[in-house]
Amino acid sequence: MKRMLLERVSLAGIARVLQISEDSVQRYVNAKAAVVSQLSGGE
């Protein structure tokens, strides 16, 4: 999934390829964004 996001594949496209829900992809993205925010000192 990480490589697809780096290639700017849409969330819907990732969900179709991996056969998971778009909600699952969104939760993954949100979790990664939270980690990045914490590491960079953001809120």
Residues with Cβ within 8 Å of 29's Cβ and at least 6 positions away in sequence, in order, are 5, 11
Q: Which two three-digit tokens encode residue 18?
A: 């991996």
User: Domain limits at 29?
Assistant: 2-39
Tens digits of pLDDT across the chain (43 residues)? 989 999 999 999 999 999 999 999 999 999 999 999 888 886 6
Domain count, the chain: 1
CB 3 within 8 A of CB 32: no
Q: Which of 4, 6, 7 is nearest to 20 (CA)?
A: 4
Q: What is the model's pLDDT at position 40?
A: 85
CB 40 within 8 A of CB 16: no
Provide the whole-model pTM: 0.81
Cα–Cα dist 33/40, whole Å: 10
